Structure 1
Amino acid sequence: MDQTTRAAVERFVRDAAAASSVAIADARLLSGGAVQENWALELDIAGGPQAGRLSGVLRCDSPTAGVAISHGRAQEFALLKTVFDAGVTVPEPLWLCEDAAVMGRPFFLMRRIGGTAAGHLMVKDASLGGDRVQLAERLGRELARIHSVRAPQPALDFLAWYDEAPALHRVREQRAFLDRHHTAYPALEWGLRWLERHAPPRGLVTLCHGDFRTGNYMADGEGLTGVLDWEFAHWSDPLEDIGWFCAKCWRFGNVAAEAGGIGAREDFYRGYEQESGRVIDRGAIRYWEVMAHLNWAIIAVQQAERHCSGQENSLLLALTGHIVPELEWEILDMTEND
């Protein structure tokens, strides 16, 4: 972070925090994120309610990201505030800056939390996340709190509302992409048709995280420290999030641990049911696991296209495209006896 940007951020935080002065003692660019840029900041704040040393994260769009594939920072900030108020364990959202003159793009600051989010480490290192039964239960409880948010929510009016069944809404979105894409994916078309034919009717519709999985929460040696990455939140059937978390493609190779690669499915379900007061329809989850594999395959195609089109030169995006055949096989395997 150059000196001009540091000074601009300091002035913004001074005014937002009603402080007499603010100094950035340390600024470090965090790894990860091709679309967003995250800076770990140590802020020395003089005066005002936040006086003292504050450890925060500044989150903004990457200057090299050419396409918007998720919510913007102002929208993500609104989502964080909403779920924070609903009791979800998330980094506390602090201040939003939509003035592009400050650092050239919108950003917000949130309080920094400890732990690690790396999915491949979480499933292999038993020292992370504390007791795995308790971790699975806790994640179920957190998801239930997310699903306690219902429409209407004026702060979330940017989230598209619709009247059709959430499953059919998702099928329509994915089919629209495949119809205009230059390459045919027959296995994905098969999966879409299967999902269309077996779509459950519209029932309870809640706020859904949209990417609730191992890799998108942080944990330390004691347990969960926070749920991250709200860029894909939307209104949907709450079973969509449950199916996504339990889908085989998000177990990071630890296939036997059906709850996100970190625990037992029933432990996760128990935490959700105790917090929500609703019984999960076990038989309905498989449908949403098929949907999870289909949605992830579409995202992988889109990510690879960003690289192959020359839009963004990224080995990570290119490699993401190579998982599509594995996801196609899983979809066929899960639906072949229909």
Structure 2
Amino acid sequence: MDDARRAAVEGYLRSVSGDAALRIEAASLLSGGAIQQNWALDVVRHGAPEAWVLRTDNAATLAVSLPRAAEYALLRAARAAGVTVPEPLFLCEDPAIAGAPFFVMRRVAGVAAGHRVVKSETLGGGRAALAQAMGRELARIHSIAPPRDDLAFLGAAPVDAGRAFIAAQREALDRQREPRPALEWGLRHLERTAPPPVPARLTHNDFRTGNIMVDDGGITAVLDWEFAGWGDPAADLGWLCARCWRFGNVAREAGGIGPRAALYEGYGAVEDARVRWWELAAHIRWATIAIDQAERHISGVERSLELALTGHIVPELELEILRMVETRDA
């Protein structure tokens, strides 16, 4: 964060925090955040140190990513429903302050890096305990139902989330440079086997290992709400269980962390066949997102080795989609 931007942010925080003497002692860009930037701020307010995070846009964003004002509102709604999220503090929608809208939330302690979480036997209180805790967090998220005036930006809830997903993914594939027959094949399988619709609930849509902060005592924060929307609750369970989010620990079906049964136990009543339908859908969705991520690099809008490498995971996802379809058609 350059000096001018830091000074502008500091001035804004003084005006909204109730402390005209507030100062930013340090600001450092946190790792990760291919779509958004997260800045760790060490702040002194009313003479006491506080640890905050400033979350703002990268140079290029995905069309399906919600703006920061929406993500801030989602954090407030989730916190009110008992979901373990960082406390949202301030929202700035004026792009002149930091170059883009941003919000500030409290910084929480813990580990989110997927490759570390899946290798630990103790983080989150142990593997089965953490899988159960993830189920409980999802159940709290799914307790939020439309309509909600504070979440009006999410629009109308879909009548049939599964059919809406298929239509959206087909549109996403139609705009790509190259044909993707394996993804089309997977979509056709989903179309033929779609479960009947259920009442929509709030879905996080990126609830997975890597977006869940944990310490030895349990979950300390559910992060990254930029893809949230109204949908089928089983979509979140399927996304978490997808092989692509197990970080190599494929035997642990609940995010590479613990057994699927423990996740279901923590959640409550679960229709396993519906979750597995959405698990296949998760691989297709992540593949189309990965293609779009790579396009940000290829187009020259945002040159990034991370974005370029993301595109290279698509063949592996396509292979898994073909394997899943073959297994279920057998």
TM over 0.5: yes
- Checking the alignment, whether the CA contact within 8 Å between 2:22 and 2:44 is kept in structure 1 is yes
Q: What are the superposed Cα offsets for residues 121-154 of structure 1, whole Å, 9 maximum, x if unpaired?
A: 1111324323222111111100100001111111
- Checking the alignment, whether the CA contact within 8 Å between 2:157 and 2:200 is kept in structure 1 is no
Between the aligned residues of both structures, percent identity stands at: 55
Would the alpha carbon gap of residues 66 and 280 (structure 1) be closer, same or farther in structure 2, given more than 3 Å must change? closer
Inter-partner Cα distance in structure 1 for 2:174 and 2:39: 39
- Checking the alignment, whether the CA contact within 8 Å between 1:59 and 1:109 is kept in structure 2 is yes
How much has 1:67 moved relative to structure 2? Answer: 5.3
Structure 2 residue aligned with 1:276: none
Would the alpha carbon gap of residues 316 and 2 (structure 1) be closer, same or farther in structure 2, given more than 3 Å must change? closer
The match for 1:52 among 48, 63, 76 is: 48
Structure 2 residue aligned with 1:9: 9
- Checking the alignment, whether the CA contact within 8 Å between 1:89 and 1:227 is kept in structure 2 is yes
Structure 1 residue aligned with 2:272: 282
Question: Structure 2 matches for 1:31-70, cutoff 5 A?
Answer: 31-46=31-46, 52-62=48-58, 64-65=59-60, 68-70=63-65
Inter-partner Cα distance in structure 1 for 2:107 and 2:208: 20
Structure 2 residue aligned with 1:171: 166
Would the alpha carbon gap of residues 104 and 305 (structure 1) be closer, same or farther in structure 2, given more than 3 Å must change? closer
Would the alpha carbon gap of residues 38 and 180 (structure 1) be closer, same or farther in structure 2, given more than 3 Å must change? closer
Q: What are the superposed Cα offsets for residues 224-256 of structure 1, whole Å, 9 maximum, x if unpaired?
A: 111000010011000000011111121111111
Inter-partner Cα distance in structure 2 for 1:242 and 1:8: 41
Question: Structure 2 matches for 1:41-120, cutoff 5 A?
Answer: 41-46=41-46, 52-62=48-58, 64-65=59-60, 68-120=63-115
How much has 1:300 moved relative to structure 2? Answer: 1.4
Question: Structure 2 matches for 1:1-338, cutoff 5 A?
Answer: 1-46=1-46, 52-62=48-58, 64-65=59-60, 68-273=63-268, 279-336=269-326, 337-338=328-329
Would the alpha carbon gap of residues 67 and 150 (structure 1) be closer, same or farther in structure 2, given more than 3 Å must change? closer
The letter for the 1-side match of 2:50 is L
How much has 1:268 moved relative to structure 2? Answer: 0.8
Would the alpha carbon gap of residues 177 and 67 (structure 1) be closer, same or farther in structure 2, given more than 3 Å must change? closer
Inter-partner Cα distance in structure 2 for 1:304 and 1:35: 12
- Checking the alignment, whether the CA contact within 8 Å between 2:158 and 2:230 is kept in structure 1 is no
- Checking the alignment, whether the CA contact within 8 Å between 1:66 and 1:311 is kept in structure 2 is no
Would the alpha carbon gap of residues 95 and 287 (structure 1) be closer, same or farther in structure 2, given more than 3 Å must change? same
- Checking the alignment, whether the CA contact within 8 Å between 2:37 and 2:56 is kept in structure 1 is yes
Inter-partner Cα distance in structure 2 for 1:7 and 1:297: 40
Inter-partner Cα distance in structure 1 for 2:7 and 2:175: 46
How much has 1:160 moved relative to structure 2? Answer: 3.1
Q: What are the superposed Cα offsets for residues 50-99 of structure 1, whole Å, 9 maximum, x if unpaired?
A: x632110011112x326544111111101111101111001000000112
Superposed CA RMSD: 1.6
How much has 1:3 moved relative to structure 2? Answer: 3.1
Inter-partner Cα distance in structure 2 for 1:97 and 1:25: 20
Give the TM-score normalised by the residue count of structure 2.
0.95
Inter-partner Cα distance in structure 1 for 2:68 and 2:52: 16
Give the TM-score normalised by the residue count of structure 1.
0.93
How much has 1:162 moved relative to structure 2? Answer: 4.4
In structure 1, runs of 5+ residues without a counterpart are 274-278
In structure 2, runs of 5+ residues without a counterpart are none
Moved over 3 A (4+): 66-69
The letter for the 2-side match of 1:7 is A
Greater shift in the superposed pair: 319-328 or 105-114: 319-328
